């Protein structure tokens, strides 16, 4: 940009800002100086009087103040690879690699600075194992459980007559029992998903506040 189009006081201000911003990472420093330079060229015509120039600079604030604001969150709480991995691992890690997959998610969750203690407790306890809890408690037993039994006729040894029989070793469930199991299964599926949504929202919010 062409410095000569700026008011002399604005040029002087930019020089002081560049010096104050020396501690910022290069990209952030460049962006800040570009923005302030654009601001000055809009707010302060090159031919403006000294009083007007001083007013514009006063509204803008001291260079040190602006640089201090740009330095907050310099080691920012940004969602990195760890955070992006933690959420899916907590949810389905335990399904892919039982126990260990989920556990790695927990370690990533607790080592992140982006979530608060409360977030971490929710992430760990709702529900331990993530979706694996639902998968291993309900899907796997339902698939592998077989019951043997049958029906037919056999001779009653005492009377010598044929009698009908039917038997099974499957446990019989009451309607209440079945309902409770279905509710528990739905909760075990829904809660880990809701927790994932919650954690990713909290991560976005922490980034904005950083």
**Rule CB under 8 A: which residues touch other proteins?**
1-2, 5, 28, 31-32, 34-39, 41-43, 59-63, 65-66, 69-70, 72-73, 76, 78, 201, 204-205, 207-210
Q: How far apart are alpha carbons 153 and 162 in whole angstroms?
A: 6
Three-state secondary structure call for residue 163: strand
- Distance of closest approach, residue 38 Cβ to other proteins, in angstroms: 6
- Distance of closest approach, residue 56 Cβ to other proteins, in angstroms: 9
SS3 content of the chain, % helix, strand, coil (to 5): 70, 5, 25
CA 18 from centroid of its chain's CA atoms: 36
- Distance of closest approach, residue 76 Cβ to other proteins, in angstroms: 7
Q: Quick one: 6 or 95, whose CB is closer to other proteins?
A: 6
- Distance of closest approach, residue 63 Cβ to other proteins, in angstroms: 8
Residues 6+ apart with CB under 8 A from 123: 86, 90, 106, 109, 115, 195, 199
């Amino acid at each position: 940009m062409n410095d000569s189009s700026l008011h002399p006081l604005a040029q002087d201000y930019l020089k002081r800002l560049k010096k104050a911003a020396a501690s910022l990472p290069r990209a952030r420093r460049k962006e800040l100086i570009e923005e302030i330079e654009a601001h000055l060229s809009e707010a302060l015509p090159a031919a403006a009087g000294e009083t007007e120039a001083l007013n514009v600079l006063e509204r803008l604030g001291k260079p040190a103040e602006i640089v201090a604001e740009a330095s907050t969150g310099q080691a920012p709480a940004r969602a990195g690879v760890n955070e992006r991995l933690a959420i899916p691992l907590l949810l389905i890690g335990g399904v892919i690699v039982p126990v260990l997959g989920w556990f790695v998610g927990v370690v990533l969750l607790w080592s992140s600075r982006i979530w608060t203690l409360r977030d971490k407790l929710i992430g760990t306890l709702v529900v331990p194992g993530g979706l694996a809890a639902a998968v291993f408690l309900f899907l796997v037993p339902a698939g592998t459980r077989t019951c043997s039994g049958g029906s037919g006729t056999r001779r009653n040894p005492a009377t010598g007559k044929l009698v009908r029989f039917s038997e099974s070793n499957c446990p019989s469930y009451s309607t209440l029992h079945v309902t409770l199991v279905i509710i528990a299964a739905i909760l075990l599926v829904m809660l880990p998903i809701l927790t994932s949504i919650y954690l990713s929202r909290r991560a976005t919010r922490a980034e904005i506040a950083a």
